[in-house]
Chains A and B, each alone.
Chain A
């Protein structure tokens, strides 16, 4: 397990706002190895979102190095970045970002539409397979409005899995969900990480969510203040079982 999926070194990002220069990231360095489950924590204004945009190849650093799966991101242009996102990264957003009035299956298929090498038949098979991985194969024809929040997020995770990325990048993926559903999502994340060896980078500000990962990187004011493996990593399935059974269920 020596492959480095993420390699960032002294990563800086500055924004010019009028006459002021805002230094959102002031030199961040860490690596993420293949198969790791890393959470990035920090309060708002810590540079979390900026780091996430950089890791997701949606933005480019002002200075410093960022290698994604061995590719130097700063040399790429807009179109190459899009291609890189298509091949290497699976996004999971806080607000799910599913297409409305579109079936779960079609939502999951979406990333494969932008890969011209994949035939219509293969696209369907892979989307179905991804939906099976999140245990929603029986809901493939439901539209987002017919699914619960947790189910919608699972469709979004399936969409992130479908292009077989080297890394799943989750941005507050449990932010809109209640505790039980959050734990369900985390259980799914853990399963994907342990069973399928998926590398997961999970941005959150909730410590109890971070506890499910194997390592946590703390950001404050654009710098890494703490980067440590979780000594007592919690199992989401156990946590789920320990939750009191609610009466309105």
Chain B
């Protein structure tokens, strides 16, 4: 008995009962369709979170001052920005010591009112080094970036985010070359940043003014300290190594003794990505589990129908045995019928799932990614479902006694 004959026999038996076969498939169709749609949505939202994080620069490392005194030194604990521990000397030492991070930029920031003529707008000025643009993956849309020379001379220049431009100048005015005032300090606009939109946390990333750090330190804040140092790891994978090197270097420059707590914190983006990815990963596991349950119910449907089918076709089984079918032939026939039902159902389910995913992405505008693995996995699960739930009915059929089967009414 060759396999092609068996498949032919099983196919003919199924085609004799088209409607029943289709109804039996329905459970599998819905199950597979659901698995694929759910996994597409899960994967899509996971990727969208990841890509919005990458846009912020996944290599970015943030160093912030931290109050390391036990109990905050006994008095009122102050916010990180008011702690004075990071200086330009730290930055210079970091540049020498750390090999796994390429770029460093100190940052001194101030909040205040930006004014142009009669328009004014509350915003934040970020005093940084030119490398900050690379670290944060920012770019200048029009105009130019400021240079190291501007840093040296504490030049009164600035770059504006799109939101600031809109609020100070209106939509159709070219701000390049114009003078604005920030907390009474006049600054010349030399460039406008490319819009980045809102980040995952809902912050407007375009509501910012960027200026040389020396300008912000001397002319606005009158301080020699920084609020943060930004660095860029060579690659995302070495960001942990880089953060260790940074800690070591900073402990040396701050002369911290063994056992003394750090007076700074180093954060990498990778930590954040991990947290967010695991959340959305959990979501897709849940969605897939729900879909998997419907696949299981589909499988039970197959088993049910196969049992009915074996009982109903007892005489046929008896006849097949009397004309020379062995137990294994009967068993294979019913097993192949079950597998054909589940695989055909799976195939229709895959098509339906893909169609639903495309529908969702084009009409609801949800991020959707149809992954090949989800298709392959659900298809394999289908075939396994067929084997698993088809096995017992098939075995029952194979064990029938031909004499009794022939006489069955």
Bound-state CA distance A106–B327 (Å) is 21
Residue contact A91 to B322, C-beta cutoff 8 Å:
yes
Contact across chains for A86 and B406 when beta carbons are under 8 A apart: no
- Chain A contributes a number of interface residues (CB within 8 A of B) equal to 27
Q: Which single member of A79, A87, A93 contacts B328 (CB below 8 Å)?
A: A79
Bound CA–CA A114/B5 (angstroms): 8
Are A99 and B316 in touch, CB under 8 angstroms?
Answer: yes
Any chain B CB within 8 A of the CB of A74?
Answer: no
B312 → chain A closest CB, angstroms: 11
* Measured CA separation A101–B13 after assembly (Å): 9
Nearest-CB residue, chain A, relative to B9:
A113
In the complex, per-residue mask of A69-105: 1 if CB is within 8 Å of any chain B CB, else 0: 0000000001100110111000101000101111000
Contact residues of B: prevailing secondary structure: helix
Chain A residue at minimal CB-CB distance from B321: A82
Contact A79 to B327, CB < 8 A, known contacts A113-B5, A113-B9: yes
Q: Tell me the residues in window 312-332 of chain B with beta carbons closer than 8 Å to chain A beta carbons.
A: 315-316, 318-329
Classify chain B's interface size: 20 to 34
CB <8 Å contact, A110 and B16? no
| CB pair B406 A93 closer than 8 Å | yes
In the complex, per-residue mask of B1-37: 1 if CB is within 8 Å of any chain A CB, else 0:
1100100110010001000000000000000000000
Complex CA distance for A86 and B5, rounded to whole angstroms: 15
Could you give, for residues 51-78 of chain A, a 1 whenever the CB lies within 8 Å of some chain B CB and a 0 otherwise? 0010010110000000000000000001
A85-B324 in contact given A99-B316, A106-B12, A114-B1 (Cβ < 8 Å): yes
For the complex, is B44 an interface residue (Cβ under 8 Å from A)? Answer: no
Q: Is A163 in the interface zone, CB < 8 Å from B?
A: yes
Most chain A C-beta atoms within 10 Å of own C-beta, residue among B1, B5, B322, B406: B322
**Given A58-B402, A58-B403, A102-B16, A114-B322 contact (CB < 8 Å):** no
B323 and A159: CB pair below 8 A?
A: yes
Contact in complex: A79, B326 (CB < 8 Å): yes
Indicate if the CB atoms of B12 and A82 lie closer than 8 Å. Answer: no
Which residues of the other chain, A, contact B320 by a CB distance below 8 angstroms? 110, 114
In the complex, are the beta carbons of A83 and B16 less than 8 A apart? no
A53 touches B323 (CB 8 A): no
Q: Which residues of A contact B326 (CB under 8 A)?
A: 78-79, 82-83, 114
| Contact A101-B324, Cβ < 8 Å, known A113-B8, A114-B1, A114-B329 | no
A230 at the interface (CB under 8 A from B): no
B355-403: which residues lie under 8 A (CB-CB) from chain A? 402-403
Known A58-B402, A93-B406, A97-B315: A85·B1 in contact at CB below 8 Å: no
A115 partner residues in chain B, CB cutoff 8 A: 324
A150 close to B (CB within 8 Å): no
Report B-chain residues with C-beta under 8 Å of the C-beta of A56. 322
- In the complex, are the beta carbons of A82 and B325 less than 8 A apart? yes
Complex-state Cα separation, A79 to B8, whole angstroms: 21
Is A116 an interface residue when CB atoms closer than 8 A count as contact?
Answer: yes
A222 beta carbon closer than 8 Å to chain B: no
In angstroms, how far is the closest chain A Cβ from the Cβ of B10? 11
The reply to whether the CB of A111 lies closer than 8 angstroms to some CB of chain B is yes
* B328 x A86 contact (CB < 8 A): no
Contact between chains at A116 and B5 (CB < 8 Å):
yes
Tell me if A85 and B323 are in contact (CB < 8 A).
Answer: yes
In the complex, the chain B residue whose C-beta lies closest to that of A80 is B326
- Closest B residue to A95 by beta carbon equals B315
For A106, the chain B residues whose CB sits under 8 A away are 12
B16 neighbours in A (Cβ, 8 Å): 99-102
Taking the closest CB of chain A, its distance from the CB of B407, in whole angstroms, is 9
Q: Judge whether A116 and B323 touch: CB under 8 Å.
A: no
Contacts of B5 in A (CB 8 A): 113-114, 116
Q: List, in ascending order, chain B residues with CB within 8 A of A83's CB.
A: 324, 326
> A58–B402 Cα gap in the complex (Å)?
7
When C-beta atoms are compared, the residue in chain A nearest to B5 turns out to be: A113
Q: List the A side residues contacting B1 at CB < 8 Å.
A: 113-114, 116
Q: Which residues of B contact A113 (CB under 8 A)?
A: 1, 5, 8-9
Pick the most buried of A58, A79, A93, A100: most chain B CB atoms within 10 A of its CB: A58
A58-B8 CB under 8 A given contacts A114-B329, A116-B2: no
Residue in chain B with minimal CB distance to A91 = B322
Nearest CB of chain A from residue B97's CB, rounded to whole Å:
77
Q: Is the CB of B403 within 8 A of A82?
A: no
**A159 and B329 alpha carbons, distance in the complex (Å):** 19
CA distance A29 to B326 in the complex (A): 29
Q: In the complex, which residue of chain A has the Cβ closest to the Cβ of B319?
A: A97
- Which residues of chain A have C-beta atoms less than 8 A from B403's C-beta? 53, 58-59
Contact B323 A86 (CB under 8 A): yes
Find B322's partner among A78, A85, A99, A100 (CB 8 Å cutoff): A85
A93-B406, A101-B16, A114-B329 given; A58·B9 CB < 8 A: no
Chain A residue at minimum C-beta to C-beta distance from B318: A97
Kindly state the separation between the CA atoms of A100 and B402 in the bound complex, as whole angstroms.
19
Sample of 10 more A-B contacts, CB < 8 Å, known A85-B322, A86-B324, A111-B323: A56-B322, A58-B402, A82-B324, A85-B324, A86-B323, A97-B315, A106-B12, A113-B9, A116-B2, A159-B323
Instruction: Give 3 closest A-B pairs by Cβ, nearest first.
Output: A86-B324, A111-B323, A82-B326
Question: What are 18 A-B contacts defined by CB distance under 8 Å?
Answer: A59-B403, A78-B327, A79-B327, A79-B328, A83-B324, A85-B322, A85-B323, A86-B324, A86-B325, A93-B319, A97-B316, A97-B319, A100-B16, A106-B12, A111-B324, A114-B325, A114-B326, A116-B2
